[in-house]
Chain A
Amino acid sequence: MSLTVTDLKFHYNTSQHCHYHFRLTKGQRVGLIGRNGAGKSTLLKLIAGELSAKSGEVSINGSALTRQPQQYLSKLGYVPDQFPDDKGYRVTDFLTLVLACKNISRSLDDLLADQGLTQLNIGELLPLSLQQLSLGQKQRLSLVQALLSQPECLIMDEPLNGLDPTQQQQFWQILKQQTNNTCALIASHHLVDLAEHCQRLLFIDDHRLVLDLNLDSIKYMAVNTSIINNTKINETDALLHDKVIGFQQEQNFNQYLLQNDSNILLSGKTLTVLTELFRYQASGEWQW
């Protein structure tokens, strides 16, 4: 089970374009990181079919969005950045609509129980209208609607917004339960959480993928101030990128530091480096 994004191109206008190419595999939880306006939501909308790509293809297990949209969308769960706040809809009506649209014939209670979603306490929200929900309640409901059809791929845009710490813990717990057979792409600014709960991080900036980090194979990182040419680092230990080098072995990391001392901008454990990197980026001192 996998999500494949192949040469996906989208034009905002004549001057702004984006281009993505990556693949998510079964059981993978992937964090999508980028500053505001980097193009995270656009990428997720393209994958969710909300926006139409100019070229390229997105597919889940061979079902392509452009060719078999119904099959593709039936395998997808989407948590949008903004949840609908239609005052006419009560939560129970909304979830019934979701079941109808996803062509699910089972009752809502059965589904919630079967999928371990009862801890999200959706029952208490059922009589309320969508407009009456708090941001956190909306996020819980949004997660439920995405998970109801047991999707093969989950796309989530800022799912942690508005959740209290306990609910955030519950969120990750549920996600881990759900993603045994599912791949998930989670866009968020909660770097620490993403680094802790995701196996992989995708960094995007200026509507392109700038870094793809497999956190399982990287423990240390070094960020070079200049373009690194002719590096002798073992390619299996590092993700090839012109400025960021990742290391599985502490020994290799230390050797690299010794050799490139004057060219190193940041170095250390992965999470520390990434946090600093974002601080630099936020202050405008450094750009990808």
Chain B
Amino acid sequence: MAMVISIARLQLKQLLKSPRWLILLSIYCFVIAIFSNQFSFQFITLQASNTSQLSLSGILFSPLDNLAVFLLLLMLPLIVLQLRPSRIASGLQRLLSSYPVSSFKLWLADWYAMLVLLLFFYAALVFIQLPILISATIDLPLFLTHWLALVLMSLSFMTLFLLLQQLTNSLLSSLVIHYSVLFLFWIIQLLQQWPDYFYVVQVINLFDWFDRLSLGLLSAQDILAFVIINLSFIVLCYCFSQQKTRFILLTCGLTLLLLFTLRLFPLNYVDTTSNQRYSLHPVLAEQLAQTETIKITSYGLDEAARREVNLRLLQPVLSRFAETKITHEPLNRQSEQQRNSQSNRGVLFTIGNIPNDKSGQRLNTAVNQQTIWLDYPFVEHPQRYLLRSLAVLQHRNDNWVLFVEGQDEASISQQGQRHLSTLNQALQSRGFQLSQLSLKQAGSIPDNTALLVIASSRQDWLNSASQSLMTYLQTGGNLLWLRDPEDISFEQLESYLGITKLDGVIVDPAGYQQGTPHPAIVLHDTFTDHPINQSLKTLVAFPWSSALVPLTKGTTKWHQQTLLTSHPNSWTEFQPEQENMAFNEQQGELQGEFQTLIALQRNQGVRQQKVVIAGDSHFLSDMAINNYDNKQLALNIFYWLTQTPDELMPTLVEPVDRYLKLTPLAHHLISWFIPFVLPLLLLLSGVILWRKQKR
């Protein structure tokens, strides 16, 4: 062993003196530092938007570590080329073969040297991440699991490349073989899309073993697989050096057998994420335990999507309910449910026999087969989404969402720019019971109304209708009032709720600069802390909205909370049809930050009454609901207003690493020193070394 280490030390010295290595390291540092810079500032932006479930590990460390693995896989063939192939080209290997050192010992020396060299790459990665590491709280178990994945993966490929060197004596063919093998692994990864047909291939797919670890799922199987693969590479190299063909075949066979055996065991992993994001939530587990059958069908998911669904929903469910039936359907075999839905990708959750939460009895046979549709990509954690839908299903017998009609409101039964048919489908697929209610005909609002929606009344209300509405509100009914600039002035309701609207359409020049097709589309990118704003990730767009203002501040019993406001330089435009709009103070237009979404709450006996007033109905219309995060905002409003029992909703555990505040020094390091100065210094060292050697 002493001999091997002595030789390894010399090999390492040669590698470190090589300008190629320094140049590769500088490229590696540059790419990772640039992405680190991007990810950090993206995280800070998202953090400012108060996006929940944000984590440094998800936004920054995991992508950076994956990028590091990717770069290492590309660079390792170029580095290992400086070992045996380079020695062969210079004639040194030939001379070494006449020395009393076996080729396997030389290989081991190369392996040690490369191992130490990899440490430099790891150190560079840590150095790049250092400003973030000292500026934020780290989810340490997850961080360490990421590193474990990175080390195991890079080590495996390094050993593989060193093994492949034994197959050829030429520099060029060595390079070709290395990259061909990488390409082969990529093909294997692609074949994963058909797991039923290429089951055998999955076993040797290193990326597959790496995936779970890189997400923070620590399993003995994955670690063992890497150990087996690495050991088999080392044994194979020994067999190659001793020219033991029979043992080569035996080793390959044994390795495959062991990997197959590992696959046979059920996958058990430890979720190292601080908020247990890949584990089955106890509340959901409790809910599902009451159902007799669970069937999950995914539609139109590609491999990446299926992987995410698998990790966040299927595996957690399977780990607890092993008899769950899971099928994956390709895109062209859509279910009726799916065709009705706006999205064509998602997961259909079918469950049997949900108990009615009030009576404690099971639902009758006619309704015991329940389906819940989850759109992909998920806008919030699928388990939370599922739980919400389950809660809605359990209450739906005596809970209706009624849309007021009769005063020229936007309709859920009609399609069109103003209407809400898409919203209707989205809500129905999530278990809501929807209907339209004409107060002129009905006379009163039914008692089992969970929520009343007024989607922009363009005609005056009859007194009797107004009276019914006021009675409904006085008895604790929930209301969603969508207002448009063209709305009638409903003074009675305005004064009851204490909120009115300003004349004119809000014009948002900042949103227009960001790329909206019209300045009258207000973009919201800052979300206050409220359940309705939870899980909003990007922007929300309000087309042709009006500004809301409190009527008599402090006199109302309602607790008001502003959910969305326009940009500070927006104004209320009186002539939005004009081509060149400009703020005109003389006409009475107002400029500033306007409220566009307000939540009201008050206690009515034992229950809480909730009202949401939006300065816009268009954001829910067929035209705009699928833009940005509008749909998610709509769903959040309906979930909040229909009072999904809080005790059923899982408490969202926030990741420990969700805050990043960069110190001025860390800011400088991330902005320019690490991305530019450090790689430049390395590059210069490489060039100087290269010129020195050339001379």
Contacts and interface: CB of A to CB of B under 8 A. Distances in A.
Interface of A: 48-50, 69-74, 76, 78, 80, 82-89, 93, 96-98, 100-103, 129-130, 145
Contacts of A130: 90
A130 B14 CA distance: 13
B98 A78 contact: yes
A50 B98 contact: yes
A26 B96 CA distance: 25
Given A73-B99, A98-B99, A86 B90 contact: yes
Interface in B80-98: 82, 86-87, 90-92, 94-98
Interface stretch (B5-13, B245-253, B613-621): B5-13
B653 interface: no
Given A71-B100, A84-B94, A102-B100, 4 more contacts: A50-B98, A73-B99, A84-B92, A89-B14
A71 B102 CA distance: 11
A100 B13 CA distance: 14
A73 B90 contact: no
Given A93-B10, A97-B10, A86 B99 contact: no
A83 B6 contact: no
Interface of B: 3, 6-7, 10, 13-14, 17-18, 82, 86-87, 90-92, 94-102, 693
B84 to A, nearest CB: 12
B98 A73 contact: yes
Contacts of A80: 91, 94-95, 98
Contacts of A49: 97-98
B508 to A, nearest CB: 62
B97 A101 contact: no
Main secondary structure of the interface of B (DSSP, over half): helix
A50 B97 contact: yes
Contact of B100 (A82, A87, A93, A101): A101
Nearest to A70: B100
A93 B92 CA distance: 12
Contacts of A78: 95, 98
Contacts of A93: 10, 13-14
A84 B91 contact: yes
Contacts of A96: 10
Given A93-B14, A97-B7, A76 B90 contact: no
Contacts of A97: 7, 10
A144 to B, nearest CB: 13
A229 to B, nearest CB: 44
Contacts of B94: 50, 80, 84
B100 A88 contact: no
A274 B374 CA distance: 95
Nearest to B101: A101
A212 B87 CA distance: 37
Nearest to B20: A88
Nearest to B13: A93
Contacts of A86: 86-87, 90-92
Contact of A85 (B90, B100, B101, B693): B90
Contact of A100 (B6, B14, B18, B91): B6
B99 A102 contact: yes
Contacts of A84: 87, 90-92, 94-95
Contacts of B6: 100
B522 to A, nearest CB: 64
Contact of A101 (B7, B18, B82, B90): B7
From B6, B18, B92, B95, residue with most partner A Cβ within 10 Å: B95
A138 to B, nearest CB: 10
A88 B82 CA distance: 10
A76 B693 contact: no
A101 B14 contact: no
Nearest to B10: A97
Contacts of A74: 100
